[in-house]
Structure 1
């Protein structure tokens, strides 16, 4: 008995340790969104205790702590289910995606870091994209490599401030024990950073694993030249090489020419061990790195009932029902989230386990054996209890396509990924006798193998291989839809006025309990059945419906180094989100920025979710964007509808609110992609006869076709006849400059539209911020509407830093008009051309908006001379710029660059050589 008690006690202690490791995994799996101090333990390179997201930390967490620990039994052959460590595949792939988005940068303050060699090659091999690996490697070689090794990162002051000679040379006497740098001091370390032979050992190992014998030989010979002979002739690797104090000025003038001296530890144990390992492995031939093949993806289609199965069979689609796949139990993804939240809980050690979080498609695409019962879980996006996106069948198809694409590219586990896709009654047409056309088309493509290249299969076969009182009853579905919509709007208006008293019992039910909140919930269900998206969005806002994975979407966008703003400019109405927020705090901030408009608040949350979807699947859409201004994006979406439909701002806003989620996501994609698109009435049956049937499609640059123009007029008429939502747009509409342009040809306004889109999206040309950095080196600063970007910024930051790009962007974002902001960007581009001229300075503080206004005056005078009247040369009251200048192409005789070049030359001519002025 005593022995049994001791065994039981020891086993409990061991299980406590398992719980501790499991919680440690749950903590580390959030590395992709957790700022830390990085491999050098300093965080931001100013060493002022500012943490940041580091690529080296994310890469190591992904490989060492997550991938290698998944399904590990801590007790080995003596273990069991209780001793197995579980890692969510979705979190591993989150780390992978964020790592790929960071590279070749190392962090916000470091545009490149030699420590990335340990991530892209030995020992982590955390990056599968060979092109990204090569790009990162070349960045390190180009920017960090010297004659004695590689410096850790640009402007690294390590081992410099502690040397009294350099300290006196650079600074007035002060505390030599100071552990941080003033931002402007970093410029002083440029070109004299210490070089570490350690990183050449990584190049040797990289060459061994990649089979590049030339690289191995090159770096072995380079290392032989910097090794120091120790006792008995043993070669020792020093920590680093530094510039002698008396030759610093010479190294400044001619980088990499001065002979350096070894400093620090000898041997440097980190580098010495890798040198020995590299030397040994260089003698071994073979392929050390393999990538497991990806199993084919299977989707299992299930019918919710026998009636739905019969409908599918009539269409030639043979499926099983949920009841027929027994003993496999089918559950929604939220149940799996609850199951995972119980893992690792330990009251004795006060361990709470995994927080309840969104379950990704990788987690729901496999079967689970839980207490001798097999479970399969449906994807998160079809859970209608969570949010209204699952009410839109087209949106379900789009999200399924997105998840399949993500799953195919990210599945790295053993076995075959299987998605369980149930067909429910909400996927039927209104009469309930036929399948929705979008769902039917998707199912047929799946059968033919044209839907992402997936295979369809029965869940039972997969199992075999795996084992080897309504208050609105009077309004039925046959009621005239427009009359029903009007009745619903009146009901909503009444409930809206009662909303401040949500628990007040209206006494509509004899048994009681008909509170305002209950009636609003019933109304939400009814408008969901008829797919009135304007009312759905507004009631969702009133009921505080939780937007599925909103906080995760926000965190994902931030993890990709994108700041977010909500609300319309200027500040303080437009609010910035630069760090992850809890769900409640995030929704409160959005409500404040929306100024109490429920529809705008819920639409802002919806757009944030779509942006995160596109960020995960098409990150190229966000190139050179560091701040996503959701308020301006919504404004531009409304303006685009007004332009395409030739309608007023109020009609466009109402039309935007009534778009289905799939159409909303499609419109957002067209705006992000920058492609021209048209709007016409869809000829296919839709889920609703209430919301306008808007079809958004790409068109050429030549303008709208006859069919498209006909569709626009029909849609405009339909929107005008569409029943209003009354309170669904309480704060009015988005301002639109197209209200007076209904008679203009569709080709006119093209360049103004392009500038408005680029300005709202903060889209700038590739390399723009690096060019701004060069301009700042030749002036005292750039002023934009009174906000100055000082030249001292170049002493604090390097051209490729994300910090610098965000800093420049924050100054430009002080301008609320997107098209005016884009003209300022064009003016700065002209200044960058002047900065390339061999002159010392192009001015003191350059007021960029003055250059734009000089260009506008030149344009106005020339157009007047050519006979333009005041109507054609009307000015935007907000900025004072001619709308015709906004609508001018950048190039050509009357292009904006022509006038901006003349204006810039006029503004800075006293600093230019005489020959240049004469040319202008």
Structure 2
């Protein structure tokens, strides 16, 4: 018994010693840089020929605080933490709220961008560390970086799920809901991307970036249905995401990968998409292919290149101008700077996948890259090839020594380094920093059974359909369930997130797609189903061709089956009309037979009455609309 007690005490002492070590390191390297008023962190303390790093970048701030959050989670596990859990967690809350305040002061830009998707209307990507003010004009920087806004939302969701109270008021909930709308069309919005300059030749041309689309997808999935007030909240503090926006982000992401964009065949930034923190790729084969491309094409001894022919901070770059001529890119081949930052992602990736050899390999490489300053071991931003070694490196890549740049440490890299070290020492578990379990979704793809409720527009049609063996109900017969058109639901979304004080109007009126309408809704104590928008002939003239409409139903069923991710089954409500029976009876009856057989276009389906299908359907509640008036459905 005494031996066990002694062993327990030794373990406890060792644990406290390691936690104290990380506390001193993180406090000295990260928290001493945190502004006491705004809570924001500078990207670094360096001011070099390549830029002023003392500003607070949104992306860098979120990554830089992760080590503080991780250490706070580790301290939660011991009884006597000397107040450090509280201190660390509230440093995290202060930073996240500092970013929130800086963005809320630009609520007018969020509102405008929802309608325009214009580059000049984007939220600013960096702010003054001491005040939270903007630091450069709308047209003086590539501000539209959807990955930055997205990672803020993703980590906000993870921290909230872990019990941190970050959002305090309904005004703030409304603003976050509008940030969801802001990133909701990332799948079709060219931006400046994670490296802030868009196209590889830095001409300021925005392009569609896989790292932005992937981070937006992850953020939308993570925050969907989340109560921002935690266990103390209500339906009013729950965030609503349209599942079709997640699905379309996934379709775009999978079509882009392993490329980053039109100009970048591969980019090390994709490590954050295929692994921690986004875990945005379900397809295991595509994930592995992207990872292998990054390692094979970008990894070196000192880190990974950002992308091929990246001239940034090489000695050949003319830092007096932002862009290159296309013919100049060739000169950067094989001498691109290597960033230790990406080895920290590979350590984290190995930890989440249980690949201990990978963890060990990149930890050892990182050890060799740390620079000692004032007794601290710090990760520089990057390593570059000095001028005298350029020609030799071009002739024989990976043979010449490289030097660290002046930006030591890159706080973002240092934070992820500490996070990886704490995971490998067992001070943290992967579930601690991913409480939403995003890493468990990689490689798991679900094919849903699609439920279908058939409605006839009136009793006369119902009788005619029965003659053909088709059972359908009328809207009157399904009461008290109400049946409405998708257009009415679009109007409801203009109220979700509406905040007159902030000048925010909710989601712009746009056509809603099938995943969104394949749910049962409880809205202000009413139970409502919405007909899919593709069946509305007033909205979509091609539905007047009923052969086209029936083919559309088949393709929508395949889409719903593949991309459904909600709890419960998707439930499609179809309204059959006299015109459909009269104009295309043969095609309609053929489709109905497929539905009755349970397989339609290779999709498993189940016909049934609405009140029965409700028992297994996906259901969404919307209880807090400030201005909701519904007209009775007119048959």
Q: TM-score range by the shorter chain?
A: 0.5 to 0.7
C-alpha distance in 1 between matches for 2:589 and 2:202: 58
Within the alignment, does 1:290 sit opposite 2:444 as a pair?
Answer: no
Return the alpha-carbon distance in structure 1 between the equivalents of residues 354 and 440 of structure 2: 13
Give the aligned partner of residue 395 of structure 2: 253
The answer to whether 1:443 aligns with 2:598 is: no
Alignment of 1:748-763 (within 5 A): none
Report what 2:404 is aligned to.
262
Cα distance in 2, alignment partners of residues 333 and 447 from structure 1:
25
- Which of residues 354, 361, 369 in structure 2 aligns to 1:218? 361
State yes or no: 1:331 paired with 2:484.
Answer: yes
1:40 Cα deviation (Å)?
1.4
The correspondence of residues 816-895 of structure 1 with structure 2, limited to 5 A, is none
CA displacement at 1:32 relative to structure 2? 1.7
Partner of 1:142: 296
Task: Give the Cα–Cα distance (whole angstroms) in 2 for the partners of residues 62 and 254 of structure 1.
Answer: 40
Three-state SS of the structure 2 residue aligned to 1:112 is coil
Aligned mates of 2:182, 2:202 — CA distance in 1:
25
C-alpha separation in 2, matches of 1:212 and 1:16:
44
Give deviations 1:338-364, integer Å, cap 9, x for gaps: 221233333443323221111110110
SS of alignment partner, residue 367 of structure 2: helix
Offset at 1:192?
0.6
How many pairs are equivalent?
A: 439
Q: C-alpha separation between the residues in 2 aligned to 1:125 and 1:67?
A: 10
Deviation at 1:157, TM superposition (A): 1.5
Once residues 247 and 614 of structure 2 are traced to their aligned partners in structure 1, the CA distance between those partners, rounded to angstroms, is 26
Q: Pick from 154, 166, 181: which aligns with 1:26?
A: 181
Deviation at 1:257, TM superposition (A): 1.0
The residue that corresponds to 1:453 in the other structure is: 604
Partner of 1:57: 212
Equivalent residues of 1:295, 1:415 under 8 A apart? no
Gaps of 5+ in 2: 1-167, 432-436, 620-635
Q: Which residue of 2 aligns with 1:412?
A: 565
Q: 1:115 and 1:466, CA in 2 relative to 1: closer, same or farther beyond 3 A? A: closer
* Partners of 2:618 and 2:265 in 1: CA distance: 50
Give the secondary structure class of the aligned counterpart of 1:428. helix
Matches of 2:615 and 2:266, distance apart in 1: 51
Q: Is structure 2 residue 264 aligned with structure 1 residue 110?
A: yes
Shift of 1:269: 1.9
CA drift at 1:294 = 5.5
Aligned residue for 1:544? none
Partner of 2:328: 185
The answer on whether the counterparts of 1:294 and 1:412 sit within 8 Å (CA) in structure 2 is: no
Query: CA shift at 1:299, angstroms?
Result: 1.0
Within 1, Cα distance between the matches of 2:466 and 2:297? 63
Q: In 2 relative to 1, CA 386–178 (structure 1 residues): closer, same or farther, beyond 3 Å?
A: closer
Q: 1:237 aligned to 2:379?
A: yes
What is aligned with 1:202?
345
In the other structure, the counterpart of 1:127 is 281
Which residue, 539, 543, 551 being the options, matches 1:386?
539
Q: Deviations for 1:592-650, whole angstroms, at most 9, x for unmatched residues?
A: xxxxxxxxxxxxxxxxxxxxxxxxxxxxxxxxxxxxxxxxxxxxxxxxxxxxxxxxxxx
Q: Which of structures 1 and 2 has the larger relative contact order (alpha carbons within 8 angstroms, sep 6+)? A: 2
Secondary structure at the aligned position of 1:324 is classed as coil
Choose from 254, 266, 274 the match for 1:100: 254
Q: 3-state SS of the aligned residue for 2:469?
A: coil
Cα distance in 2 between the residues matched to 1:316 and 1:50: 58
Larger Rg: 1
Q: Is the 8 A contact 1:391 1:426 kept in 2?
A: no
Residue in 2 aligned with 1:809? Answer: none
**2:550 counterpart of 1:401:** no
Shift of 1:56: 1.2
CA–CA separation in structure 2 for the residues paired with 1:240 and 1:254: 20
Relative distance call for 1:16 and 1:379 in structure 2 (3 A) is same
Pick closer, same or farther for the CA change 1:246–1:125 going to 2, 3 Å. Answer: same
Alignment of 1:291-306 (within 5 A): 291=441, 295-306=448-459
Alignment pair present for 1:46 and 2:188:
no
For residue 453 of structure 2, give the secondary structure of its aligned residue in structure 1. strand
For 2:386 and 2:323, the matched residues in 1 are separated by 23
CA distance in 2, matches of 1:213, 1:394: 56
| Mapped partners of 2:171, 2:327: distance in 1 | 50
Structure 1's 148 and 322: CA in aligned 2 closer, same or farther, altered over 3 A? same
CA distance in 2, matches of 1:40, 1:387: 40
Deviation, 1:286, is 7.9
The answer for the alignment partner of 1:748 in structure 2 is none
Matches within 5 A, 1:776-855: none
Structure 2 counterpart SS, 1:454: strand
Coordinate RMSD, CA, aligned: 2.5
- Partner residue, 2:130: none
Q: Which moved more, 1:418-427 or 1:116-125?
A: 418-427
CA distance in 1, matches of 2:554, 2:345: 40
Which of the residues 24, 32, 36 maps onto 2:191?
36
Using the size of structure 2 for normalisation, the TM-score is 0.65
Contact 1:333/1:359, CA 8 A, preserved across alignment? yes
Cα shift readout 1:272-306 (whole Å, capped 9, x = no counterpart): 22222222323458897323755532111122222
Q: Distance in 1 between matches of 2:491 and 2:430?
A: 46
Aligned-pair distance for 1:403?
0.8
Runs (5+) with no aligned partner, structure 1: 1-12, 469-920
- Aligned pair 1:89/2:243, yes or no? yes
Q: 1:264 to 1:398 in 2, by over 3 A?
A: farther
- Where 2:383 maps in the other structure, the secondary structure is strand
CA distance in 2, matches of 1:352, 1:228: 50
User: How far apart, CA to CA, are the structure 2 residues paired with 1:19 and 1:222?
Assistant: 45
User: Judging changes above 3 Å, is the alpha-carbon distance between structure 1 residues 16 and 283 closer, same or farther for their aligned structure 2 residues?
Assistant: closer
Output one character per residue of 1:229-250: Cα deviation in whole Å (capped at 9) or x when no partner. Answer: 4555x54322211112111111
Contact 2:571/2:617, CA 8 A, preserved across alignment: no
Query: Would the alpha carbon gap of residues 467 and 255 (structure 1) be closer, same or farther in structure 2, given more than 3 Å must change?
Result: closer
Separation in structure 2 between the aligned mates of residue 221 and residue 404 of structure 1, nearest angstrom: 50
Aligned residues of 2:569 and 2:618 also touching (Cα < 8 A): no
Aligned partner (choices 493, 504, 507) of residue 354 of structure 1: 507
| SS of equivalent residue, structure 1 residue 325 | coil
Secondary structure of the equivalent of 1:99? Answer: helix
Distance 2:381 2:231 in 1: 43
**Deviations for 1:148-191, whole angstroms, at most 9, x for unmatched residues?**
21111111122225xxxx46xxx8xxxx6333333332221111
Question: What is the distance in 2 between the residues matched to 1:361 and 1:84?
Answer: 22
User: Quick check: 1:73 aligned with 2:224?
Assistant: no
Does structure 1 residue 151 correspond to structure 2 residue 305? yes
How far is 1:78 from its partner?
Answer: 4.7
Question: By how many angstroms is 1:331 displaced?
Answer: 1.1
Q: Residue 274 in 1 paired to residue 274 in 2? A: no
**Of 613, 622, 633, which aligns to 1:462?**
613
Do 1:30 and 1:91's aligned partners in 2 also have CA atoms closer than 8 Å? yes
The Cα offsets for residues 101-147 of structure 1, whole Å up to 9 and x where unpaired, read as 12111122211110110011111001111111111112212221112
